[in-house]
Structure 1
């Protein structure tokens, strides 16, 4: 089995597999082009984003700089806004729904490394997907960890480290992130 196939399935794989290294180089080439564009080069940015990612819906705006591992494992719905300095380790699928807002300095990490030091020294990795459903808002400086699903309409407070799924329509925050209450403008 190809290392790429094992990686996207969440199985253990050798991180330095030549095919994976080449994909990462090609991705970084595209990311560098995006990051060098001027603020008014929106059409070119959209075209490069479509080349980089698996799927890009309508009205997807991603501020630069961005930092992405593979790109092909990322999909966007429609009407998505991502603020400055987004980092994505997309060794597995990263699915972002529609009407999603992501604040500045947010990181998505699908990648894991073995806890055992001998295995880790062999450059073995594995991954779990991240899913952001529709109408989610993620505040600035958040970290979304492997295997997390942010359910429809939830809000993640700034500075949170999200280690587990967040239910639909809930406000969650903290490190580790915990559900506080319903995501409404009035406390219930």
Structure 2
């Protein structure tokens, strides 16, 4: 079993293994290249994302700067939007749905490190060698989700379709579909219902209207 396969199987792995370092070095380089472009450099950005991500749907826009740890471990649906400073530490797989949007400074973190200090320093790996080891848990974010500014999503979390996550939240547990959730740790505050429609905010809707 390769170190990458160990990640996907939820086992302890060596993040310093040469095979993983090679993947990460490529992702870091491409992330930096993307961050150094301007948003009107459409072709350059498209080419970088094609190399960087595991899969991506149509009409995605990442404002930049961005940082992906592995890149190829992340799959993004169509019509995705990310504001400034998106960080995805995708040791484990990260799946992001279509029509999902992120505010500035959103962070997704999949790795988990031991609580015991001596175990964080070194453990004995499957080859009998002393190494710094960790494990990782995947993250799944559904369709039509809005993550507000400065949201952090931790490993092992699934956020259902249609959710809104309040600014500054730290999501440590699953959030059911069509929920408004916020806080540290993030908790469901209420369900999102038809009463949340903009039609009930005429002072904001003004001369606009709901699309039928």
Instruction: Identify which of 168, 172, 192 aligns with 1:163.
Output: 172
Q: Please list the CA deviations of residues 91-118 of structure 1 after superposition, one character each: whole Å capped at 9, or x if unmatched.
A: 1110000010111000000110111222
Shift of 1:124: 0.7
**Cα distance in 2 between the residues matched to 1:46 and 1:182:** 37
Q: SS of the residue aligned with 1:171?
A: strand
1:172 to 167, 181, 189: 181
State whether residues 155 and 172 of structure 1, in contact with CA within 8 Å, keep that contact through their aligned partners in structure 2: yes
Query: Which residue of structure 1 aligns with residue 199 of structure 2?
Result: none
The answer as to 2:190 corresponding to 1:181 is yes
Cα deviation code 1:64-117 (max 9, x no counterpart)? 111111000000111100110011110111000001011100000011011122
**What is the deviation of 1:184?**
4.1
Match of 1:68?
68
CA 1:88–1:2 in structure 2 vs 1: closer, same or farther (change >3 Å)?
A: same
Alignment of 1:36-75 (within 5 A): 36-75=36-75
Q: SS state of the match for residue 14, structure 1? A: coil
What corresponds to 2:141 in structure 1? 132
User: What are the ranges of 5 or more consecutive residues in structure 2 without an aligned counterpart?
Assistant: 123-131, 197-212
Match of 2:24 in 1: 24
- Tell me which residue corresponds to 2:119: 119
Q: Which consecutive residues of structure 1, in runs of 5 or more, have no partner in the other structure?
A: none
Residue matched to 1:154: 163
What count of residue pairs does the alignment treat as equivalent?
Answer: 187
- Provide the secondary structure at the position in 1 that maps to 2:26: helix
Where does residue 141 of structure 1 map in the other structure? Answer: 150
> In structure 1, how many angstroms separate the alpha carbons of the residues matched to 2:87 and 2:38?
20
SS of match in other structure, 1:51: helix
TM-score (norm 1): 0.96
Partner of 2:204: none
Take 2:90 and 2:79, find their aligned partners in 1: how far apart are those partners?
21
Higher mean C-alpha deviation, range 29-38 or range 142-151: 29-38
Once residues 12 and 136 of structure 1 are traced to their aligned partners in structure 2, the CA distance between those partners, rounded to angstroms, is 31
CA drift at 1:9:
2.0
